[in-house]
Amino acid sequence: MRNDQSRGTVPGIMGTDVLDILKRELPETMVILTTAYGSEETAIKALRLGVNDYIINKRPFDADEVREVVKRAVTEAHLRRENLRLQREVEFKNEQLRQNFTELQVAYERLKELDKAKASFFSMVSHDLRHPIAVAKGYLELIRTGDAPLDADTRGYIGVAEQEMRYIAEMVDDVLDLSRMDAGYYHVDCQPLAVSSLLHQARLAFRAHAAQRDIALTIEPCEDLPLVSADSLRMGQVMSNLIENALKFTPQGGQIALGARRVPDGVEVIVRDNGVGIEPGEHEKIFDRFYRIKHGEQLEDKGSGLGLAICREIVRLHNGRIWAEGEIGKGSAFHVILRTVDE
């Protein structure tokens, strides 16, 4: 670049302008200032402006010096490029490390959760299974060792033992279902299904149980709905789990309503109760395995905390959605969306 204003080889543009453009457009360009008129001071000013080297006051130019300056500039350019490459490599590696670290953190959190689930599983097995086994064993022993005929008390003992056995069997079924799901052996066989028949069958299955607890189990009138694509047995299991929960967490004299309606992404099934309700902060967590909320003394408090986890998995296998709504003291509603046949 010539910094000779009076004899500029590029008319209308000054050396400093060219320097500006170069630094802006091609920042990696090495710029050497050559001028026969400038002083050491001009050179220093130019260096401040971003020139990389200079040759001044040589007329004619000393070829060796030019060669030397150009060589220096080339070497520096190489070094700069190498430096930049290394810097980028370090940044890239850093970013990779950051990503790996985040992935590790996520995996670690997941492991911790699984570990917690495993711990609660073992405490569940040791407490929730041992207790009913001990109760049932105790009553059966009493019946065996007592020489009383089958009187009302004895029938009562057998009834309790039976109930405890049923509870254990249900829990074992839940654990087995979940492990089948984890292993990928649990499948759904989707067929066209009328949601109204799903609701009626569920009501039929729990009518007696609800009546025993003086709970009204009703079906809300719903418009004509399209058929959904669902496995009636599996969805029956989802309905059972939801209604069992509603019965468990609704005090005597309460209400449970089953309903359905058309929504943009399918048909929505709703199981609504006016029981104890669930705090919004817990709406997601209750679908986690073994997660249970302590609701207070007045309610039957038995369960593995697996029911909703199983529901979520079954609904997922249907490509549907399930979620909870409601508030403490205002009851709960469980919503399930199923795809219609033609979707």
Ligand X SMILES: Nc1ncnc2c1ncn2[C@@H]1O[C@H](COP(=O)(O)OP(=O)(O)O)[C@@H](O)[C@H]1O
Among 15, 259, 266, 307, which residue sits at the site for Mg ion (rule: CB under 5 A)? 307
Please provide the DSSP assignment of 186-235 as one string.
-----EEE-HHHHHHHHHHHHHHHHHHTT-EEEE--------EEE-HHHH
Q: Which does 340 bind (CB under 5 to 8 A by kind): Mg ion, ligand X, none?
A: none
**Contact criterion met (CB below 8 Å) for 327 and 273:** no
Of 309 and 336, CB closest to ligand X: 309
Of 229 and 245, CB closest to ligand X: 245
Q: Which residues sit opposite 269 in a β-bridge?
A: 260, 336
**Which residue stretches of the chain are H helix?**
15-25, 40-49, 63-124, 130-145, 152-183, 195-212, 232-248, 307-317
Residue listed under structure tokens 């299974």: 129
Among 15, 275, 313, 337, which residue sits at the site for ligand X (rule: CB under 6 A)? 275
Q: Which does 278 bind (CB under 5 to 8 A by kind): Mg ion, ligand X, none?
A: ligand X
Q: Classify strands 266-273 and 228-230 as parallel, antiparallel or unpaired.
A: unpaired
Give min distance, CB of 199 to ligand X, in A: 16
Which of positions 183-222 make contact with ligand X (CB under 6 A)? none
Residue listed under structure tokens 């609504």: 272
In eight-state DSSP terms, residue 337 is E
Among 3, 34, 35, 304, which residue sits at the site for ligand X (rule: CB under 6 A)? 304
How many whole angstroms separate alpha carbon 31 and alpha carbon 47?
10
Which range binds ligand X by CB under 6 A, 71-79, 107-115, 147-155, 300-308? 300-308
Give min distance, CB of 310 to ligand X, in A: 8
**How far, rounded to the nearest angstrom, does the alpha carbon of residue 271 sit from its chain's CA centroid?**
24
- Residue 338: closest CA among 218, 199, 205, 206: 199
Q: Which does 292 bind (CB under 5 to 8 A by kind): ligand X, Mg ion, none?
A: ligand X
User: Applying CB under 6 A, does 305 fall inside the site for ligand X?
Assistant: yes
Among 34, 35, 245, 250, which residue sits at the site for Mg ion (rule: CB under 5 A)? 245
Give min distance, CB of 304 to Mg ion, in A: 8
Among 38, 132, 266, 303, which residue sits at the site for ligand X (rule: CB under 6 A)? 303
Among 158, 168, 293, 328, which residue sits at the site for ligand X (rule: CB under 6 A)? 293
Please provide the DSSP assignment of 48-65 as one string.
HHT--EEEES-SS--HHH
Count, residues near ligand X per rule CB under 6 A: 21
Of 17 and 279, CB closest to ligand X: 279
Backbone angles phi, psi at 335, to 5 degrees: -115, 135
Which of positions 231-270 make contact with ligand X (CB under 6 A)? 241, 245-246, 249
Q: Classify strands 255-263 and 32-35 as parallel, antiparallel or unpaired.
A: unpaired
Of 72 and 285, CB closest to ligand X: 285
**Contact criterion met (CB below 8 Å) for 165 and 297:** no
Backbone angles phi, psi at 189, to 5 degrees: -115, 95
Of 33 and 238, CB closest to Mg ion: 238
Of 19 and 276, CB closest to ligand X: 276
- Which residue number is nearest to Mg ion in terms of Cβ? 307
Of 275 and 303, CB closest to Mg ion: 303
In the complex, which residues of this chain contact Mg ion (CB under 5 A)? 245, 303, 307
In the complex, which residues of this chain contact ligand X (CB under 6 A)? 241, 245-246, 249, 273, 275-276, 278, 286, 291-293, 295, 303-309, 332
